[in-house]
């Protein structure tokens, strides 16, 4: 049970990083619109 | 042992040079100039290639429509045919024309010899003059389906197709209109990419929410 919890916390942390990265990519694309 | 680099064949040292200093002939300079000129030509060639590949421009061409050769325009786009077709609709809407009022995708059926026909388009550069436009969109080649070629014929009614010689102003306006597609497709493509990226972010957030729910369940079970 504890191992599952630990894994889940790790997955959450990874997912949060993933969201942050994808949001950066989204912002980069939006910046290109302004330049166009 | 000190090695002295041999002088360049066209530059001489010592007494000989001093003697020659005030007595240069054209042949002394020619090889150096040739080298410089060659470098210059290579640089110009690179620059020209860069400009040509960096941005495409609409150019005059002859197009066969209804078994007749007519003057027209051609433009290559760095996007597939779907994006190019969507850009046509977008650019037509920008002129105030609404191809979709006649029914969704109707415009795709309104064809003349494989060309999508749009009648009564008004370009801002021309004073309320109504034009008929005929578009054909094709993949650039069998191997380059991610790129497309747009052909455009502009008519003042029926087969009265305009040419640069007969109607310079209208042809120039049509060329400028087609050139606007380059930025148009780039903008359209970018909007699609933003939409896709927004979906990626939403999916990632859903996954996180699901993990957080799992976390709560695990904590409950642990108690």
Going by DSSP bridges, is the β-strand pair B111-112/B68-77 parallel, antiparallel, or unpaired?
unpaired
Tokens of B43: 């640089």
Q: What is the predicted pLDDT for the residue at A35?
A: 64
- Chain B positions in Cβ-Cβ contact with residue A32 (cut-off 8 Å): 190
Residue B220 to chain A, least CA–CA distance (Å): 11
pLDDT tens, chain B, 223 aa long: 455 555 554 444 444 444 444 555 555 555 556 666 666 555 555 444 434 444 678 899 999 998 899 999 999 998 889 888 888 888 888 888 877 655 445 566 677 888 888 888 988 877 778 899 999 999 998 888 889 999 999 999 888 999 999 899 999 999 999 998 888 787 888 888 999 999 999 999 999 999 999 999 888 887 7
Q: Across the interface, which of A1, A19, A29 has its CB nearest the CB of B193?
A: A29
Q: What is the predicted pLDDT for the residue at B145?
A: 87
**For chain B, which residues make up each domain, given as ranges?**
59-196
Query: How many Å apart are CA A29 and CA A35, to the nearest integer?
Result: 10
What's the average model confidence in pLDDT over A6-30? 93
- Number of domains making up chain A: 1
Contact between B194 and A2 using a beta-carbon 8 Å cutoff: no
Average pLDDT, chain A: 89
Residues 179-198 of B with CB under 8 A from A: 183, 186-187, 190-191, 193-194, 197-198
Q: Which structural domain, as residue segments, surrounds residue A14? A: 1-36
Per-residue pLDDT band for A21 (boundaries 50, 70, 90) equals very high
B59-196 folds as Alpha-D-Glucose-1,6-Bisphosphate; Chain A, domain 4 (3.30.530)
b (16+ CB within 10 A) / e for B144-176: eeebbbbbbbbbeeeeebbeeeebeebbebbbe
Q: Whose structure tokens read 């009614």?
A: B157
Contact between B222 and A2 using a beta-carbon 8 Å cutoff: yes
Closest residue by Cα to residue B174 from B194, B158, B150? B150
- Chain A positions in Cβ-Cβ contact with residue B221 (cut-off 8 Å): 1
Contacts of B112 (CB under 8 A, 6+ apart): B65, B66, B134
Query: How many Å apart are CA B90 and CA B188, to the nearest integer?
Result: 9
């Amino acid at each position: 049970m504890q191992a599952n919890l630990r894994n889940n916390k790790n997955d959450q942390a990874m997912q949060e990083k993933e969201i942050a990265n994808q949001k950066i990519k989204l912002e980069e694309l939006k910046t290109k619109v302004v330049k166009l | 042992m000190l090695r002295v680099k041999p002088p360049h064949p066209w530059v001489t040292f010592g007494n000989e040079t001093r003697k020659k200093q005030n007595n240069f002939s054209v042949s002394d300079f020619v090889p150096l100039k040739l080298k410089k000129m060659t470098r210059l030509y290579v640089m110009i060639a690179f620059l020209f290639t860069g400009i040509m590949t960096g941005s495409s421009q609409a150019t005059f061409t002859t197009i066969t429509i209804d078994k007749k050769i007519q003057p027209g325009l051609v433009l290559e786009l760095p996007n597939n045919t779907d994006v190019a077709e969507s850009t046509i609709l977008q650019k037509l809407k920008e002129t105030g024309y609404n191809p979709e009022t006649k029914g969704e995708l109707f415009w795709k059926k309104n064809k003349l010899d494989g060309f999508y026909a749009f009648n009564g388009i008004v370009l801002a550069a021309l004073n309320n003059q109504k034009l008929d436009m005929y578009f054909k969109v094709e993949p650039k080649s069998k191997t380059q389906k991610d790129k497309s070629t747009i052909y455009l014929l502009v008519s003042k009614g029926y087969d009265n197709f305009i040419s640069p010689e007969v109607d310079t102003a209208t042809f120039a306006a049509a060329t400028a209109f087609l050139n606007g597609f380059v930025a148009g497709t780039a903008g359209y493509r970018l909007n699609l990419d933003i939409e896709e990226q927004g979906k990626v972010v939403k999916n990632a957030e859903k996954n996180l929410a699901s993990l957080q729910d799992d976390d709560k369940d695990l904590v409950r079970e642990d108690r």
